[in-house]
């Protein structure tokens, strides 16, 4: 290289260096310009604002989720089990019914589209708020297996609770929807596992539904849950919310592409929302250039290149040639069209299990996931699978708070939704499902607004007080139910209200608990009206002369004697053992004793007049009725054989000894004058509480006193004929276990006592108690005359009879399974029987034991007598008779 060339190269290098320095200086001056710096700062500011808004949105969503957690209502849905008629259906018909019933339920989920907010003038503000705070108006359909019970829940936001409840009742008219507290399947020292279930291929492809099954898919799931142990807990949580319209467009779009010959994989490609956005963004320049090339910069065809009209190129022919679609693809296209022709939902499906050990939770979780394999669509290989769970604590928190996660959602139609979750059908045979014990019936629209409160009607979340008007009470009230079902609570509530209203009341209680409950709630202002008749109070016994009657009403003597004959007949079944001879001797003995009350006319004198000839002779001397005299003088004392007096006396006195020799009964029935004036008690509105403790008195003594109380009250009511009707005061007679205290006279009370304002409230346990030796007199009288009928839980045999009274609203299955303190009532309203409906009894008001003790002492002092004085009275009366007898003998000798 020459020197000249070297210098030329150096000169060029120097020029290049000067240019680089100049360029660098220019670049520094460009960066130092305020416009460029402002743009960079603005971009940085925008980035910070976007990041801050994203953080703010995240915090707002978290806050809204927390608020939504405490703004939800947990509804437990209970359905009645199948009736006997449904159980007897043939298997083929039942299978047909399964699809029909599930199809009807599908309308429930279609109606839940109404949970979406309508597009009104505030929609854009709603959309903005939804963007910032997230969408939390979703429903949670849940199935829980815990403690050997399978329960169904629906959790809804508070503002949707009423709407959702009405839709459930529209689909399930017999269902009961109860607001309840949230459940907890976790144990303090147990293990927990869980998983989402998502479609394995695409979130918008269809699943297998009930229409392609010959069985109820839910029964497979519940049958699996029923095999778990009591300590295991399983919860299936399906969150749903109305889907967006874009899902329908995407589903139909896939079907269209497959119609055009594309494969499912190609049709699915780019269906993700983010992929669509990216593809649209990057493909926009290409689409624009292609449009310009095809429509603006298109070159004219060369001469002679024009094709004849109607003739297509080979490429066009291939492009427009008919595409052959496989049968499997046709089925998929049809499934897509059917799916997106129905309402669609966005869903999250969670499974959570708890058990004692981690190994047990793994087994349970796999088992539950396996039960959902039946929804797999084999034609497109789309099935529900549990993906790997990365953040377990977040998953459990989402389960507890019922958070909806966008990245775990998939699209289901109403048909798929009802296949995945629906409430159990009535013929589901899974043993551990919690069914509705008995169906609920609506109360009548003309429910009275005044009268005594029987309880409340709870129907579809609405509570109404059930009242019985005073005039309808005069048609009597009949209550039936097993022991411990709530009859006594109902009687106590009614009696307490009557007492507080100042009414006259008598309660005959064979156990004592009912009287105690009422006694503790007697108001202070009515303390003076209380009469407590307690035969177990041996220190101050109250007198009850069974043969006493009012001389002003001579017809009462016949009533008393007839009633005593019926009482002894019921106590000892005299029609089978005694016959007419017993009745003849007993009747004439009572007539003879009652002729002279001054020398004694109680049950004790009956035995004496039979056994003691001298005493009988004295009574005959005082007798003014010739027929009675003739019987004893000309017939009884002269009869021979089996009818001889010597043969009849032991038989009759054996029936009286159990009362006369009893330390509890003798001081009561041995008093000449009864402590209670029953007519005065009715007219003045007294509170007569008859406490008959079977455990202390014995069955026979209890029944004797109870029957005599009923007889005397009836006799007092019938004596009201001397009183104008408008002045007769209502008197309420409560009888628990009334079959023990009634004779055939109950027919008279039920049919005629209403005229005399004696109103019965009678209760017992089963209908068989009203029938004896095929004698249905009492049963016929009850069911033929009572106005209001209340049925608590009863036995199968009684349910068959009572169901006829409550048909067609209530069936036998309902009557057998009524819950405690609940009943069905056929209420008399304005003298017309209403349609049966549900009644729930009320709790008793608080009592005052201290006040009741003082009232008890007051009653004992007023109406009771010292036991020693009563025994002296009985002895003195006997001595007086002996003295009178001696006087009569002397006069006869003279």
With respect to residue 99, please indicate whether it lies within any of the assigned structural domains. yes
Distance, first Cα to last Cα, the chain? 195
Helices (H), 70-187: 84-87, 91-111, 123-133, 158-171
Q: How many CB atoms lie within 10 A of CB 4?
A: 8
Give the total residue count for the chain: 894
**How many other CB atoms sit within 10 Å of the CB of residue 139?**
23
User: Both tokens of residue 650?
Assistant: 């032991």
* CB distance 549 to 557 below 8 Å: yes
**183, 146 Cβ separation under 8 angstroms:** yes
What CATH code is carried by the domain that includes residue 220? 3.40.462
Contact by Cβ (8 Å): 87, 425: no
Last residue of one domain, picked from the residues 399, 420, 441: 420
| Three-class HEC string of 577-597 | HCHHHHHHHHHHHHHHHHCCH
Q: Which residues contact 654 (CB under 8 A, 6 or more apart)?
A: none
74 within 8 A of 179, measured Cβ to Cβ: yes
* Entry pTM: 0.77
Which pLDDT does position 688 carry in this prediction? 97
Q: How far apart are CA 221 and CA 369, in angstroms?
A: 10
Give domain status of residue 678, yes or no: no
Q: How many helices (H) and strands (E) would you count in the chain?
A: 35, 23
pLDDT recorded at residue 768: 92
Range of the domain at 883: 543-669+867-894
Q: Answer yes or no: are the C-beta atoms of 204 and 198 closer than 8 Å.
A: no
d(CA 171, CA 105): 6
Backbone angles phi, psi at 241, to 5 degrees: -150, 155
Residue 808 covered by a domain: no
How many other C-beta atoms can be found within 10 angstroms of the C-beta atom of residue 345? 26
- According to the model, what pLDDT value does residue 592 have? 92
Q: Which two tokens stand for residue 647?
A: 């043969």
* pLDDT number for residue 753: 79
Two structure tokens written together for 308: 């004849």
Whether residue 464 lies inside any domain: the answer is no
Residue 20's pLDDT is 46
pLDDT at 130 (0 to 100)? 47
Per the domain annotation, does 485 fall within a domain? no
Q: Give me the pLDDT at residue 92, please.
A: 44
**Which residue has tokens 């709407």?**
163
Q: How does DSSP assign 207-240, residue by residue? A: ---GGG-SS-HHHHHHHHHTTS-TT-EEEEEEEE
CA atoms within 13 A on the CB side of 717: 27
Q: DSSP of 425-491, one letter per residue?
A: PTT---TTB--BSS---PPPTT--SSSEEEEEEEETTEEEEEEE-HHHHTT-EEEE--TTSSHHHHH
Do 555 and 413 belong to one domain? Answer: no
Rounded to whole angstroms, what are the CA distances from 137 to 133, 167, 421?
12, 16, 19
Q: Give the whole-angstrom CA distance, residue 782 versus residue 750.
A: 7
Q: pLDDT averaged over consecutive 10-residue blocks of the chain (894 residues)?
A: 44 46 48 72 84 75 66 90 52 59 81 54 44 61 93 91 88 88 89 91 86 87 89 93 81 79 71 45 47 48 49 53 64 82 90 93 92 83 78 88 88 90 86 89 93 93 93 95 93 96 95 92 95 92 90 85 87 69 89 87 89 88 90 85 81 85 88 92 95 86 90 90 90 94 80 87 94 85 92 94 91 91 95 94 92 94 92 80 55 49
Residue 131 pLDDT? 43
The secondary structure element, H or E, covering residue 29 is: helix 3-31
Specify whether the CB–CB gap between 692 and 512 falls below 8 A.
Answer: yes
Which CA distances in Å does 611 have to 204, 671, 886? 101, 20, 18
Query: Under a CB-based contact definition with an 8 Å cutoff, are residues 697 and 535 in contact?
Result: yes
Residues 550 and 405 reside in one and the same domain? no
Question: In the block, which residue shows the tokens 């109070």?
Answer: 537
The whole-angstrom separation of Cα 82 and Cα 425 is: 8
**How many structural domains is the chain composed of?**
2
CB 688 within 8 A of CB 531: yes
The answer to whether the CB of 692 falls within 8 A of the CB of 731 is no
The C-alpha atoms of residue 846 and residue 850 are separated, in whole angstroms, by 12
How far is Cα 350 from Cα 408, in angstroms, rounded to an integer?
A: 10
**To 5 degrees, how large is the angle CA 883–CA 885–CA 890?**
95
CA dihedral 664, 665, 671, 676 (to 10 degrees): 90
3-state SS, residue 559:
helix
Distances (CA, A) of 868 to 531, 539, 600, 872: 21, 9, 18, 6
| Contact status, residue 148 vs residue 79, Cβ threshold 8 Å | no
Q: Are 424 and 129 in contact (CB under 8 A)?
A: no
* Separation between Cα atoms, residue 644 and residue 651, nearest integer Å: 12
Evaluate whether 713 touches 678 at the Cβ level (below 8 Å).
yes
Helix or strand or coil: residue 544?
coil
Do 90 and 238 reside in the same domain of the chain?
yes
Quote the pLDDT of residue 794: 95
Residues 6 or more apart in contact with residue 181 via CB below 8 angstroms: 74
CB of 173 closer than 8 Å to CB of 274: no
Q: Which two tokens stand for residue 636?
A: 């009884």
Q: What residues pair up with 762 in beta bridges, in sequence order?
A: 478, 735
How do strand 530-533 and strand 687-691 relate by DSSP bridges?
Answer: parallel
Q: What is the structure's pLDDT at 230?
A: 85
d(CA 689, CA 682): 13
Are 93 and 397 in contact by the 8 Å Cβ rule? The answer is no
Exposed e or buried b per residue across 553-575, where buried means at least 16 C-beta atoms within 10 angstroms of its C-beta: beebbebbbebbbbbbbbbeebe
Cα–Cα distance between 609 and 99 in angstroms, integer?
Answer: 82
What tokens appear for 299 in the block?
Answer: 């070159």
Do the domain assignments include residue 197?
Answer: yes
- Which pLDDT score is estimated for 134? 45
- Distance (Å, whole) CA 702 – CA 580: 26
> Would you say 416 and 207 are in contact if contact means Cβ atoms under 8 Å apart?
yes
User: Token digits for 855?
Assistant: 């009232």
On whether residue 686 sits in a domain, the answer given is: no
Assess contact for 704 and 567: CB atoms under 8 A. yes
Domain end position, chosen among 371, 397, 420 = 420
**Is 716 part of a structural domain of the chain?**
no
The distance from CA 398 to its chain's CA centroid, rounded to whole angstroms, is 31
The per-residue pLDDT for 23 is 44
> CA 486 to CA 455: how far, in whole Å?
12
Dig out the tokens for 356 from the structure: 């004692």
238 and 374 share a domain? yes
Is it true that the peptide bond before 731 is cis, omega within 30 degrees of 0? no
CA pair distance 495, 586, nearest whole angstrom: 38
CA atoms within 13 A of residue 283's CA, in its CB half-sphere? 8
Q: End of a domain among 372, 395, 420? A: 420
Other CB atoms within 10 A of residue 97 CB: 15
SS3 label, residue 726: helix
Residue matched to tokens 């004696």: 758
Q: Assign residue 698 a region: left if phi > 0, alpha if psi is -120 to 50, beta otherwise?
A: left
Return the pLDDT at 301. 47
- C-alpha torsion 782→786→789→790, nearest 10: -70
């Amino acid at each position: 290289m020459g020197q000249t060339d070297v210098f030329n190269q150096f000169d060029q290098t120097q020029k290049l260096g000067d240019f680089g320095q100049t360029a660098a200086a220019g670049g520094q001056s460009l960066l130092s310009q305020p416009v460029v710096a402002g743009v960079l700062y603005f971009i940085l500011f925008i980035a910070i604002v976007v990041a801050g808004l994203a953080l703010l949105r995240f915090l707002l969503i978290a806050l809204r989720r927390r608020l939504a957690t405490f703004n939800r209502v947990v509804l437990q849905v209970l359905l009645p089990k199948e009736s006997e008629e449904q159980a007897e259906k043939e298997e083929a018909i039942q299978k047909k019914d399964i699809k029909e019933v599930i199809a009807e339920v599908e309308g429930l989920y279609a109606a839940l589209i109404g949970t979406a907010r309508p597009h009104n003038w505030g929609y854009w503000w709603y959309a903005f708020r939804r963007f910032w705070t997230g969408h939390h108006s979703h429903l949670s359909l849940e199935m829980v297996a815990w403690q050997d019970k399978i329960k169904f829940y629906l959790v809804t936001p508070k503002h949707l609770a009423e709407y959702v409840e009405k839709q459930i009742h529209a689909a399930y008219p017999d269902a009961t929807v109860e607001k309840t507290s949230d459940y907890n399947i976790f144990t303090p020292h147990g293990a927990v596992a869980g998983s989402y279930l998502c479609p394995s291929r695409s979130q918008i492809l269809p699943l297998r539904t009930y229409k392609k099954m010959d069985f109820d898919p839910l029964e497979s799931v519940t049958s699996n849950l029923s095999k778990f142990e009591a300590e295991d807990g399983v919860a299936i949580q399906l969150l749903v919310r109305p889907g967006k319209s874009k899902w329908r467009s995407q589903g139909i779009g896939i079907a269209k592409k497959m119609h055009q010959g594309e494969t499912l994989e190609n049709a699915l490609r780019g269906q993700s929302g983010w992929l669509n956005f990216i593809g649209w963004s990057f493909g926009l320049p290409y689409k624009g250039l292609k449009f310009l090339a095809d429509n603006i910069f298109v070159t004219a065809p060369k001469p002679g290149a024009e094709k004849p009209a109607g003739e297509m190129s080979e490429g066009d022919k291939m492009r427009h040639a008919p595409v052959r679609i496989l049968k499997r693809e046709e089925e998929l296209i049809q499934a897509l069209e059917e799916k997106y022709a129905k309402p669609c939902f966005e869903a999250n499906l969670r499974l959570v299990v708890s058990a004692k050990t981690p190994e047990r939770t793994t087994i349970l979780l796999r088992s539950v996931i396996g039960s959902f394999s039946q929804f797999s669509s084999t034609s497109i290989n789309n099935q529900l699978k549990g993906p790997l769970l990365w953040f377990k604590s977040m998953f459990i928190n989402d389960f507890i708070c019922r958070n909806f996660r966008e990245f775990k959602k998939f699209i289901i139609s109403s048909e798929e939704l009802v296949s995945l979750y629906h409430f159990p059908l009535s013929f589901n045979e899974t043993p551990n499902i919690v069914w509705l014990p008995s169906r609920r019936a609506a109360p009548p629209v003309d429910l009275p607004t005044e009268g005594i409160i029987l309880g409340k009607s709870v129907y579809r979340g609405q509570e109404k007080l059930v009242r019985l008007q005073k005039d309808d009470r005069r048609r009597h009230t009949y209550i039936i139910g097993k022991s411990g079902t709530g009859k006594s609570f109902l009687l106590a509530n009614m009696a307490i209200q009557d007492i507080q209203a100042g009414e006259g009341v008598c309660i005959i209680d064979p156990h004592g608990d009912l009287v105690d409950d009422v006694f503790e709630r007697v108001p202070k202002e009515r303390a003076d009206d209380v009469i407590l008749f307690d035969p177990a109070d041996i220190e101050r016994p109250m007198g009850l002369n069974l043969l006493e009657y009012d001389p002003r009403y001579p017809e009462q003597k016949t009533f008393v004697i007839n009633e005593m004959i019926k009482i002894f007949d019921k106590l000892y079944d005299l029609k089978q053992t005694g016959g007419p001879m017993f009745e003849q001797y007993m009747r004439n003995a009572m007539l003879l004793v009652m002729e002279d009350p001054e020398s004694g006319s109680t049950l004790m004198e009956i035995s004496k007049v039979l056994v003691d000839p001298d005493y009988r002779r004295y009574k005959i001397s005082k007798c003014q009725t010739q027929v009675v005299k003739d019987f004893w003088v000309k017939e009884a004392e002269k009869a021979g054989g089996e009818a001889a007096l010597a043969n009849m006396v032991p038989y009759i006195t054996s029936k009286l000894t159990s009362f006369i020799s009893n330390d509890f009964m003798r001081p009561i029935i041995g008093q000449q004058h009864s402590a209670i004036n029953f007519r005065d008690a009715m007219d003045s509105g007294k509170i007569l509480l008859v406490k008959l403790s079977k455990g202390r008195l014995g069955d026979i003594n209890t029944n004797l006193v109870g029957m005599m109380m009923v007889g005397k009250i009836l006799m007092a009511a019938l004596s009201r004929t001397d009183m104008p009707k408008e002045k007769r005061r209502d008197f309420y007679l409560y009888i628990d276990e009334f079959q023990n205290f009634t004779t055939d006279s109950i027919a008279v009370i039920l049919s005629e006592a209403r005229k005399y304002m004696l109103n019965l409230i009678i209760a017992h346990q089963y209908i068989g108690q009203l029938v004896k030796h095929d004698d249905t007199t009492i049963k016929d009288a009850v069911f033929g005359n009572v106005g209001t009928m209340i049925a608590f839980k009863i036995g199968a045999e009684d349910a068959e009879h009572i169901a006829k009274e409550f048909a067609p609203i209530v069936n036998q299955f309902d009557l057998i399974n009524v819950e405690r303190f609940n009943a069905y009532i056929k209420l008399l309203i304005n003298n017309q029987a209403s349609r049966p409906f549900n009644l729930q009894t009320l709790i008793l008001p608080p009592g005052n034991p201290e006040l009741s003790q003082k009232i008890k002492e007051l009653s004992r002092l007023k109406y009771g007598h010292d036991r020693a004085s009563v025994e002296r009275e009985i002895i003195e009366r006997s001595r007086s008779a002996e003295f009178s007898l001696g006087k009569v003998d002397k006069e006869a000798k003279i």
